[in-house]
Amino acid sequence: MDRPINEYPIQQFVEQMPIAFAIFDNEMRYQAVSRRHLADLAWLFSTEDLSPDKVMGRTFREVSPDMPLRWGDAHDRVLKGDELEQAADFVPRPDGRATWVRWLMKPWRTPDGQIAGALLFSELVTEGVEIKRALAESEARARVTFENAAVGIGHHTPDGRLFRGNKAMARILGWPLNELMTKTLQDVTHPDDLADDLAHLKELSEGKIESYSLNKRDLRKDGSTIWVRRTASAVRKSDGSVDHYVAVIEDISAWKNAEDQVRLLAREANHRVKNLLSLVQVIARHTAAGSPEGFLERFAERIQALAANQDLLGNSQRRSVDVEDLVRAQLAHFADHSGSRIVAHGPRLRLNAAGAQTISLALHELATNAGKYGALSLDDGRVDVTWQSDGDVFTMSWIERDGPPVQSPEHRGFGTIVITAMATQATGGEVQLDYSPSGLTWQLACPAANVIETPK
């Protein structure tokens, strides 16, 4: 017949327990111990192979001389009647690695209430502690990233209510964060762009797409509009339904402004190219209408005059030209005479593209004629080019002196058309052309607004 359970020594029961458990007397000498306790203890401190028969009657400190000093204090307190526990106690291992232990220690008493020793329950919880710490660190990093991101990040419910946002989102939308969290997606989206955004959200909620991005306009607190790029995705519940949406917004106002500017420049360039082609046709037709001899030379010179003007416009960030720069460009082949035989003077004024184009062609024709037949064909001849504006009227003069005697031409060529009819029509002004024997004089007077760049 088997022995009654009360005849078995308590050590035989404790030794088989699956938990780390030990019973001590009032001097902290082992009275009973589980193998799990000894395995954990050896892992932490001991350099010897521990078994129950080797530790019975020995104190905890004798078996574990490297135990933390605070544990000795804990033993003393328990033997005085305290019950102590630690959910996660850090213990360095002999190999330098960290270990975390959860333990509970309480006194046990004799039938008459006297403290006879201590009971110790312990468990190695390193893996759980490290997972919890890693999770906390990950959450902290995510929180720091969320709060300090350069882009706006916001969370909103399926019905559009904002419930979380970062500082960048508040800055981009121009709302204090606490006020922004009282708004909905519908509140901050421009009415003309709301339907498109909601249609994408519907596809997202139905699982047809995993995320989407779109450019749209949002409304700031002050009522102004801002262009943003919104990228949204869904966070789902275990049943697949949408719990909330995560949206990232970027301020693309500068990009949109640049895009609009490029589009405007493209339209302007297209317009200017068409005008130039039309002008080239006119130049070709009228040049060919004259004597066929020297057509290519005359045509090339006039196209070069156009090109010089276009170079000035192309190099000007303001797409306008300084009058003095234009005059010097058209008289570049007479550069050796500049300042002595050719004097150009006037206030600093900038011609718009249309005005520069017209005046550059007129100056080219005047300079070509002066070099072939006029004041610049003789060594003593001089040319004065002046311009001014009184605010309403722009005037420009070309006056030749000390050249050969001037005679009025019998034939009205294309050059004359350029400096008279074309200049008059393009500027909306009047041209006076005087073939005085002492020297040719050309004067243009037109509304300043037609040729002078308008300040912005």
Say whether both 437 and 336 belong to one domain. Answer: yes
Our separate counts of H helices and E strands in the chain read 17, 17
Instruction: Write down the H helix ranges in 174-316.
Output: 177-180, 185-188, 191-205, 253-289, 295-315
Please write down the HEC assignment for all residues of 347-401.
CCCEECHHHHHHHHHHHHHHHHHHHHCCHHHCCCCEEEEEEEECCCEEEEEEEEE
Say whether both 309 and 441 belong to one domain. Answer: yes
Residue 157: Cβ-neighbour burial (10 angstroms; 0-12, 13-18, 19+): middle
Domain-embedded: residue 169: yes
What SS3 state is found at 1?
Answer: coil
Amino acid, single-letter form, for residue 207: G
Say whether both 300 and 447 belong to one domain. Answer: yes
Among residues 232, 251, 270, which one ends one of the domains? 251
Domain-embedded: residue 32: yes
Count of Cβ atoms closer than 10 Å to residue 49 Cβ: 8
User: What is the DSSP-derived secondary structure letter of residue 209?
Assistant: -
Range of the domain at 178: 149-251
Domain-embedded: residue 264: no
pLDDT of residue 132: 86
Give the closest residue to 399 by CA, choosing from 371, 433, 422.
433
Q: What is the CATH number of the domain that holds 417?
A: 3.30.565.10
DSSP secondary structure, 225-245, as one string: EEEEEEEEEEEE-TTS-EEEE
pLDDT of residue 85: 93
pLDDT of residue 6: 44
- List residues bridging with 107 in a β-sheet: 118
Say whether both 379 and 343 belong to one domain. Answer: yes
Say whether both 122 and 198 belong to one domain. Answer: no
Q: What is the pTM (predicted TM-score) of this model?
A: 0.44
Domain-embedded: residue 274: no
Say whether both 101 and 192 belong to one domain. Answer: no
Say whether both 380 and 430 belong to one domain. Answer: yes
Please write down the HEC assignment for all residues of 122-139.
EEECHHHHHHHHHHHHHH
- Chunked mean pLDDT (size 10), the chain, 456 residues: 49 77 93 88 71 88 86 94 92 79 93 93 89 82 76 91 91 91 93 94 93 94 92 92 92 81 60 51 55 64 59 54 86 66 91 85 83 84 93 94 87 78 90 92 94 78
CA contacts within 13 A on the Cβ side of 216: 26
Q: What is the CATH number of the domain that holds 113?
A: 3.30.450.20
Amino acid, single-letter form, for residue 350: R
Cα 47 from Cα 69, distance rounded (Å): 19
Length of the chain: 456
Say whether both 243 and 301 belong to one domain. Answer: no
Domain-embedded: residue 290: no
Domain-embedded: residue 225: yes
CA contacts within 13 A on the Cβ side of 167: 7
Give the closest residue to 389 by CA, choosing from 357, 431, 326, 347.
347
Domain-embedded: residue 430: yes
What SS3 state is found at 430?
Answer: strand
Work out how many domains the chain is built from and give that number.
Answer: 3
Say whether both 125 and 153 belong to one domain. Answer: no
Say whether both 100 and 161 belong to one domain. Answer: no
Cα 177 from Cα 160, distance rounded (Å): 16
DSSP secondary structure, 326-345, as one string: HHHHHTGGGGGGBTTTEEEE
Which secondary-structure segment (H or E) carries 249? strand 242-251
Among residues 251, 277, 309, which one ends one of the domains? 251
Domain-embedded: residue 277: no
Say whether both 87 and 155 belong to one domain. Answer: no
Say whether both 302 and 417 belong to one domain. Answer: yes
Among residues 103, 130, 157, which one ends one of the domains? 130
Cα 421 from Cα 365, distance rounded (Å): 13
Cα 323 from Cα 329, distance rounded (Å): 10
